[in-house]
C-alpha cells in the first residue's frame, strides 16, 4: 500500500486526524484529500472536489488511479458513494447507501434494533406533526425528540417537560429547523446514565472495536446549552473495560451486522455505536456509519496500528478475522475551538493566529473549519479547530489540550474548559 495513492474524502477535523494517521503509518503513500483543508494540505495533496460530489469523486479516483478510497463524512455515504465506486470496480472503505441508513434514517435504525433485540430506548415514529404533538402531550416526564434524517449531529433534542417537547416537534416538523431531516420524527423514552462512544471496524461479519471514548455535545460548560456537533471528547473512559466492550460487541454490533446482512445490505466500514450506560446495562442511543467527530481526534492518536491494511482488505471484499488493533497507553483529550455564534449563525473569514510552537509530540492541532485567505489562515466554519492533548493520564492530556487551546487567537473564539470533567472529578 505504501507506494500507492489513497483518496480520503472530507474536509473536517475527523479527516485531518485520519490523514495524520495514514501519514504516520504509511509515510510513502501518495495521499489525496478531497476537498481537504489547510491542515490536510501539509500531509498530502488537496483536490478541489466536494465531499458530496459523487460523480466528481469517481472521476478523481479513476484519474489518480487510487488504490483505496476512504470516506470520512456521512453525507456521501448516505448519498451512495459506496455504490457508485462499486459499480466502477473502485475499492472503497465504507458502507453502501442502503447500509448507511443506519445513520441516515433513525427510524430505520430503531426498527432494526427492535427486530434484532438490540437494547435501546422505547420509541414511536411520526410523519404527521399533529400526531406527534398528540403523543408528547399525552406524556409527562423527560423524552427525546429526534429528526430521523441527517442533521450534522444536532438533530436530537432532550425535552424535560411537555412544553419543551411540543416546541421541539414544532421546530423539527413545522419550522423545518433541520430541513428534510425532519420529514420523519422519532420520539424516544429518556435514558439516564453516562454516554459512551464505541467504534467498530467491520467486514460485515466480524466487528473489531477501537478504544472507547466519550464526547460532550452541549455548547456550554457543565453540559448546558444547545446541542452541537461536538465540543470535545476524551479517551479512554473509566469503567469501559474489555468486559463491557465485549458485551457491547456481542449484544449490539454483531446482532446489527447479522440483521443488515439478512436484509440484503451487509454493513462494511466503520460502525459507531453511541450508547447510554444505564442501570439496566448499555443501551444504544444512535448509530453512525463513520468515525465520529471529534471522537476520531482522540481515538486515532491512541491507535498505534496501521488501519490502512485492514481497511484495504475490507474494501476488496476480505475479512478481519484474527486482526486486533494495537492501542497506545495513556490518554487523549480534544478541546474544540468554535466560532462565536455557533451552533447558530456565525461569521467567516476571521483572521487566525497560531503560535509556531503550538504543536508537538503531545499536542495535535486538527483543522475543522479553516481556509486560506489572501493574508493567511481564516475561519470558515462553526467548529474551527480540535486541539488534542496526549498524556500519561487524562489529567495531563486535559492540561495540555486546554493550554494549547488558550493560545489560539481569533475574534469570537469559544471553547469549553471542562471536557472530561466527570472523569477528572
pLDDT the model gives residue 3: 61
Angle (nearest 5°) at CA 261 between 257 and 262 = 120
A 10 A CB-CB count for 208 gives 18
Same domain? 307 vs 398: no
HSE on the CB side for 314, CA within 13 Å? 30
Cβ–Cβ < 8 Å for 77, 290? yes
Same domain? 214 vs 237: yes
Is it the case that residue 418 has pLDDT exceeding 80? Answer: yes
Determine the structural domain holding residue 308 and report its residue range.
Answer: 192-315
pLDDT the model gives residue 128: 87
H-run or E-run covering 301: none
Same domain? 206 vs 308: yes
Q: What is the pLDDT of residues 29-74, one digit of tens each?
A: 999 999 999 999 999 999 999 999 999 999 999 999 999 999 999 9
Question: Cis before residue 218, ω within 30 degrees of 0?
Answer: no
Same domain? 176 vs 205: no
In a domain, 234, yes or no: yes
Identify the DSSP state of 77: H
In a domain, 417, yes or no: yes
For 332-362, give one letter per residue: b (16+ CB within 10 A) or e.
bbbbbbbbeebbeebeeebebebeeebeeeb
For 27-37, give one letter per residue: b (16+ CB within 10 A) or e.
eebbbbbbbbb
CATH of the domain at 31: 3.40.50.20
Same domain? 196 vs 242: yes
pTM for this structure? 0.92
Question: For 124-132, what is the mean pLDDT?
Answer: 89
In a domain, 117, yes or no: no
CA distance 103 to 101: 5
Quote the mean pLDDT of the chain: 94
Q: How many domains does the chain have?
A: 4
Same domain? 255 vs 308: yes
Same domain? 237 vs 200: yes
Which residue would you say has higher pLDDT here, 385 or 129? Answer: 385
Residues across the chain:
425
H-run or E-run covering 153: none
Q: What is the pLDDT of residues 201-210, one digit of tens each?
A: 999 999 999 9
Highest mean pLDDT among 14-18, 221-225, 236-240: 14-18
Cell of 369: 473549519
Q: What is the pLDDT of residues 253-297, one digit of tens each?
A: 999 999 999 999 999 999 999 999 999 999 999 999 999 999 999
Q: Is 73 exposed, middle or buried (0-12, 13-18, 19+ CB in 10 A)?
A: buried
Same domain? 176 vs 197: no
Q: What is the CA radius of gyration of the chain?
A: 20
Q: What is the pLDDT of residues 324-338, one digit of tens each?
A: 999 999 999 999 999
Residue 2 banded pLDDT, cuts 50, 70, 90: very low
- Residue that is last in its domain, among 140, 160, 183: 183
Q: Is 80 exposed, middle or buried (0-12, 13-18, 19+ CB in 10 A)?
A: middle
Amino acid at each position: 500500500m505504501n507506494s500507492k495513492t489513497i483518496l480520503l474524502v472530507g474536509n473536517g477535523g475527523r479527516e485531518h486526524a485520519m490523514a495524520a494517521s495514514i501519514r504516520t503509518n504509511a509515510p510513502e503513500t501518495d495521499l489525496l484529500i478531497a476537498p481537504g483543508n489547510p491542515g490536510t494540505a501539509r500531509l498530502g495533496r488537496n483536490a478541489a472536489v466536494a465531499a458530496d460530489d459523487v460523480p466528481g469523486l469517481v472521476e478523481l479516483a479513476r484519474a489518480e488511479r487510487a488504490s483505496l478510497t476512504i470516506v470520512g463524512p456521512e453525507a456521501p455515504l448516505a448519498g451512495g458513494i459506496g455504490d457508485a465506486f462499486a459499480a466502477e470496480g473502485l475499492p472503497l472503505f465504507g458502507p453502501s447507501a442502503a447500509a448507511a441508513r443506519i445513520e441516515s434514517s433513525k427510524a430505520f435504525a430503531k426498527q432494526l434494533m427492535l427486530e434484532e433485540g438490540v437494547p435501546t430506548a422505547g420509541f414511536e415514529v411520526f410523519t404527521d406533526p399533529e400526531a406527534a404533538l398528540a403523543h408528547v402531550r399525552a406524556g409527562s416526564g423527560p423524552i427525546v425528540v429526534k429528526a430521523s434524517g441527517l442533521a450534522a449531529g444536532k438533530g436530537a433534542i432532550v425535552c424535560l417537560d411537555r412544553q419543551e417537547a411540543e416546541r421541539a416537534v414544532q421546530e423539527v416538523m413545522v419550522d423545518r429547523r433541520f430541513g428534510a431531516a425532519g420529514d420523519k420524527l422519532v420520539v424516544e423514552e429518556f435514558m439516564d446514565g453516562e454516554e459512551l462512544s464505541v467504534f467498530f471496524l467491520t467486514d460485515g461479519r466480524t466487528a473489531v472495536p477501537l478504544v472507547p471514548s466519550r464526547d460532550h455535545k452541549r455548547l456550554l460548560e457543565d453540559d448546558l446549552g444547545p446541542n452541537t456537533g461536538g465540543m470535545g471528547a476524551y479517551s479512554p473512559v473509566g469503567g469501559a473495560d474489555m468486559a463491557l466492550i465485549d458485551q457491547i460487541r456481542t449484544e449490539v454490533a454483531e446482532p446489527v451486522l447479522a440483521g443488515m446482512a439478512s436484509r440484503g445490505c451487509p454493513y462494511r466500514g466503520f460502525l459507531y455505536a453511541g450508547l447510554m450506560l444505564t442501570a439496566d446495562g448499555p443501551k444504544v442511543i444512535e448509530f453512525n456509519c463513520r468515525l465520529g467527530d471529534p471522537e476520531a481526534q482522540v481515538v486515532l492518536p491512541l491507535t498505534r496500528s496501521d488501519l490502512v491494511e485492514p481497511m484495504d482488505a475490507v474494501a476488496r471484499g476480505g475479512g478481519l478475522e484474527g486482526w486486533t488493533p494495537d492501542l497506545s497507553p495513556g490518554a487523549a483529550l480534544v478541546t474544540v475551538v468554535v466560532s462565536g455564534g455557533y451552533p447558530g449563525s456565525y461569521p467567516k473569514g476571521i483572521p487566525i493566529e497560531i503560535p509556531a510552537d503550538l504543536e508537538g509530540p503531545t499536542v495535535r492541532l486538527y483543522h475543522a473549519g479553516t481556509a486560506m485567505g489572501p493574508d493567511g489562515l481564516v475561519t470558515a466554519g462553526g467548529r474551527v479547530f480540535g486541539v488534542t492533548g496526549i498524556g500519561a493520564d487524562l489529567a495531563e492530556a486535559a492540561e495540555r489540550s486546554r493550554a494549547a487551546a488558550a493560545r489560539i487567537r481569533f475574534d469570537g473564539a469559544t471553547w469549553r474548559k471542562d471536557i472530561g470533567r466527570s472523569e477528572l472529578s
